[in-house]
Amino acid sequence: MSLAKRALICAAVDHSIKGVLIKGPSGTGKSVLVRAFAEVLPERDVINIPQNITDDQLFGGLDLEKAVSEGKAMVSGGLLSRTDGNFVYLDNANLMDGRTLDSLMECIESGKVILEREGVSAEYLLETTAIASMDPSERDIPDSIADRFEICVNIIPEKDFRERAEIVRADMEHRRDISAYHEDYRESDAETASIIKSARLILPSVVLDRDDVVTIVKICRELNVGGHRADLSAAKVSKVLAALDGRAFVTDTDVSDALVLCLPHRRTLRTREKAEGGKVFELIDDSAEDIQPDTEIVEDVPVLVEEFDEEAEQDQEGAADPGPLEPSASTGSRYDAIFERAKEALDEIAELEAFRLHEIAGIRSKRAPLSMRNSGRYRGFRVPKGKTSDPAFDATVRAAAPYQISRESNGLSIKIESQDIREKIRVRRKSCSFIFAVDVSGSLVKGGMMGIVQNAIRSMLMESYVKRDRVSLVTFRERVAEVAVPFTRSVEMICDTLEQAPVGGSTPLASAIIVSRDYAVNYLRKHPGENCYIILITDGCATTPAFPCADAMGEIRRIAPVIKDPKIEWTVINSGGVYDVKRKDDARKLAEYLDARYIDIKDLGEY
């Protein structure tokens, strides 16, 4: 919990930190923490933004009352206009409409709201910080939006029973006697408030020297984090952490702590996956060169360097002075220490974030498809082409409102003409269809992999149970690949069938691919507009060909291009290779043939 608290305090000290993302399972006290935080800072409010808010409620729109009574088109500032100088709190931010969240974060980051809606046009400045919380077992926030949050912390449910007991006790007391409880904690709140206040005073004089920035830049790349926001966030937070500690210089611990706060949400599965076998981002370390005065980039740099170095030296007063003679060597060892510390903490966090089914299948937050029929969530409105069967009443009334004074009465309380009519834009969350094709041949049994595979599937299925996805199971061994469980929402049925499935024998991999694919194609024929994801769990060593031929693996290579279908996406999870390194490449080759995502079962988390 203390990490989350620290994150919020950082945002309170430095208003240029515009976003804090808190991840944690439900019931870990995310909202409680944010509310308690609000009490620490009496001068800034925390304003709650509900997840189903519409664009005009949030950003503002036409002032309905003024329009009807005076016929004037005036702007009614939305909820956002009231958050200037305060914090906004987005509970379950991941469930918010992606575009609304994107627009909101864009406004907060740029400090400006541009409003062009329903006949009104306005622009206002906005200074606020977003605190968002989300339950990671639900869908994730798209990477590009998450990147707009400087800081991300994961709340881990307390495992220690004494700590847990303490939480229960605090909660009981809170409920019994709110005022007394607050009295107890007010003292520590006051203490926190004064730390924040003094940190704010120190912050402008905190010096971050160029070496630290170079270290941050290098570590971000080493950990496969892209974009400049990560570097900048870590630099800012390092300074804030120093200020919180009452120092005007930044220590190595500040830097590594800052990295731990700023990088968890930026090391995504995709970058980790891309990084397999190398770096995602090319980085050329020219930082040692820039000491030579004749390098090109140095031209406009020296001013900064001198300035910062001077001050840093004054402040540090000889503390661990690297000395100008061997700058690369000393920064090297410093770098290693910071890197090790940050990486260890970040890996721990990454492990907590076990792979999720949607991530595994490569379903990224594509734009939700516009719904064809009159179902789905009301997201916005438009002027209909011709007649509409799905009018948006609120928007229609707003469109008609300004004309009420001038229109002739027709006996109704609101006079609506055809040009006022707006229709709804709806979006429907697509449910996904997964086919698990599981290798139950002898090679798996031998390796003792069956249990691991079952656990992996079970944990992936838990998520699809929450999301109401359709899942089916194909198993293959000996000469047969068959649909063992047709598409169902019953996760239990899949688990049971898998447990009871006969195992052992050779591997008819090509047949499994054909059977799964044909089943998917059939299903898609009946459900156009959906996509199908086939997750092939195998060690990739094909032994039995589908058609009489000698080379089972070659057969797969030949059929792969023929069975491609834009609506079917493949993922290969390598269940072999854990004990037998030689076979690891087979599954990878298979993934290449199928143009599939490749994931090693070891990476799936704690099994």
Q: Which of residues 270-289 bind another protein (CB under 8 A)?
A: 281-287, 289
When asked if residue 73 is in the footprint of another protein (CB under 8 A), the reply is yes
The torsion angles phi and psi of 253, rounded to 5 degrees, stand at -65, -40
The amino acid at 359: E
When asked if residue 557 is in the footprint of another protein (CB under 8 A), the reply is no
When asked if residue 121 is in the footprint of another protein (CB under 8 A), the reply is yes
Contact positions with another protein (CB under 8 A) in 403-462: 403, 405-406, 419, 425
Coil, helix or strand at residue 181 = helix
Task: Tell me how far apart the alpha carbons of residues 607 and 604 are, in angstroms, rounded to a whole number.
Answer: 8
Task: Determine the interface stretch with another protein among 44-52, 228-236, 310-318, 439-447 (rule: CB under 8 A).
Answer: 228-236
When asked if residue 364 is in the footprint of another protein (CB under 8 A), the reply is yes
Task: Tell me how far apart the alpha carbons of residues 586 and 540 are, in angstroms, rounded to a whole number.
Answer: 5
Measured from the CB atom, the residue of 111 and 451 that comes closer to another protein is: 111
When asked if residue 150 is in the footprint of another protein (CB under 8 A), the reply is no
Measured from the CB atom, the residue of 167 and 425 that comes closer to another protein is: 425
Task: Tell me how far apart the alpha carbons of residues 435 and 361 are, in angstroms, rounded to a whole number.
Answer: 10
Please select the residue that binds another protein; options are 35, 69, 85, 123, rule is CB under 8 A.
123
When asked if residue 388 is in the footprint of another protein (CB under 8 A), the reply is no
Q: Tell the smallest beta-carbon distance from residue 102 to another protein (Å).
A: 7
Task: Tell me how far apart the alpha carbons of residues 25 and 508 are, in angstroms, rounded to a whole number.
Answer: 41
H helices of 432-582, in order, are 442-446, 450-467, 491-500, 509-526, 552-559
**With contact defined as beta carbons under 8 Å apart, do 35 and 48 qualify?**
no
Name the helix (H) or strand (E) containing 214: helix 210-222
**331 CB-side CA count, 13 A:** 18
Terminal CA-CA length for the chain: 26
Measured from the CB atom, the residue of 328 and 431 that comes closer to another protein is: 328
Please select the residue that binds another protein; options are 127, 143, 252, 603, rule is CB under 8 A.
143
Please select the residue that binds another protein; options are 32, 36, 44, 142, rule is CB under 8 A.
142
The angle that helices 2-13 and 228-244 make with each other, rounded to 10 degrees, is 90
Contact positions with another protein (CB under 8 A) in 567-596: 595
When asked if residue 310 is in the footprint of another protein (CB under 8 A), the reply is no
Q: Read off the tokens for 164.
A: 């847990």
Measured from the CB atom, the residue of 583 and 588 that comes closer to another protein is: 588
Task: Tell me how far apart the alpha carbons of residues 122 and 40 are, in angstroms, rounded to a whole number.
Answer: 34
Task: Determine the interface stretch with another protein among 23-31, 176-184, 232-240, 446-454 (rule: CB under 8 A).
Answer: 232-240
Contact positions with another protein (CB under 8 A) in 239-258: 239
**272 CB-side CA count, 13 A:** 21
Please select the residue that binds another protein; options are 52, 144, 431, 490, rule is CB under 8 A.
144
When asked if residue 147 is in the footprint of another protein (CB under 8 A), the reply is yes
When asked if residue 340 is in the footprint of another protein (CB under 8 A), the reply is no
Q: Read off the tokens for 301.
A: 């740099």
When asked if residue 193 is in the footprint of another protein (CB under 8 A), the reply is no
Q: Tell the smallest beta-carbon distance from residue 596 to another protein (Å).
A: 12
